Amino acid sequence: MAIYSTFFLAQPDQLPVAFPDWKPPLPEPVTRKSINPFTREEMTITTCAPEWEGFDPDNMAFPAPQVVAIEGDYQTYLENRIPPFVQSQPHWCAKNLTNVELEPLVAAATGAPDTKVESALYAHPAIGCGLEQIPDDFIARVKPPSDADLQAIAEQWAKTMSTREHTHSVSGDRLSDDWSVDDALRLLNPIVELLKQHSDAQSLYLLIEP
């Protein structure tokens, strides 16, 4: 199933109006017990995700894969499917970029390997969407970087994404190829271009949709 990933710039106070049915993170993290949807084993998590009335996470059904017939230019299709507010903001439409790829990129740019990308707002879990806020330290490092800095970030990102943690399953099966530096630059360059439109009042967000 494809994951649609849209980076966009916006002021934080615009988000509640743009995503009216979404909830902000809890002010403090809480500990909850849940059932791993894949292993069906009980696990304990610490999270700032809000709760939703009448929703049982242990009985959550995953969205069914859908086949989409695309007519015309694929980039136009990506543009037309994002919410109107995101369309109106400076943005870049991509695919299959999530926290799994984003956190190593932020770490490569900031030199802080433990940096976490936090959720700006939470959609109802049944929707399967996410809205992540990229740390301001990342923006400061890549707005704009020198050619040498950009190359160094891409090299480190590619190196991390080529480790066994990111290319193999727990059982040892290879799931994806190693990344080249060119692979990393193809994804990093549009983000750098987007940040050329960044103003001090804006933050950088990633909207993730199934």
The pLDDT of 81-102, averaged and rounded, is 94
pLDDT band at 79 (very low <50, low <70, confident <90, very high): confident
Residue bearing the bigger pLDDT, 86 or 64: 86
Distances (CA, A) of 16 to 10, 49, 77, 159, 209: 11, 16, 26, 37, 18
Tens digit of each residue's pLDDT (9 = 90 or more) over 143-167: 888 999 999 999 999 999 999 999 9
Assess contact for 207 and 86: CB atoms under 8 A.
yes
Work out the average pLDDT over 194-199: 96
* Average pLDDT along the chain: 89
Q: Residue 67: which pLDDT band, with cuts at 50, 70 and 90?
A: very low
Which range, of 18-22, 42-46, 82-86, 195-199, averages the lowest pLDDT?
A: 42-46
Gap between the Cα atoms of 177 and 166, Å rounded: 9
Domain ranges in the chain? 4-19+66-209
63, pLDDT greater than 60: no
Tell me: the pLDDT tens digits for 124-145? 988 989 999 999 999 999 988 8
Closest listed residue to residue 172, CA positions, set 161, 180, 164: 164
| pLDDT (average), residues 105-129 | 93
The pLDDT, as a whole number, for residue 37 is 62
Rounded to whole angstroms, the Cα distance separating 181 from 152 reads: 9
What is the pLDDT, as a whole number, of residue 53?
86
The pairing of strands 118-122 and 203-209 is: unpaired
pLDDT exceeds 80 at position 48: yes
Kindly indicate the confidence band of residue 71, based on its pLDDT and cuts at 50, 70 and 90: low
CATH code that applies to domain 4-19+66-209: 3.40.1760
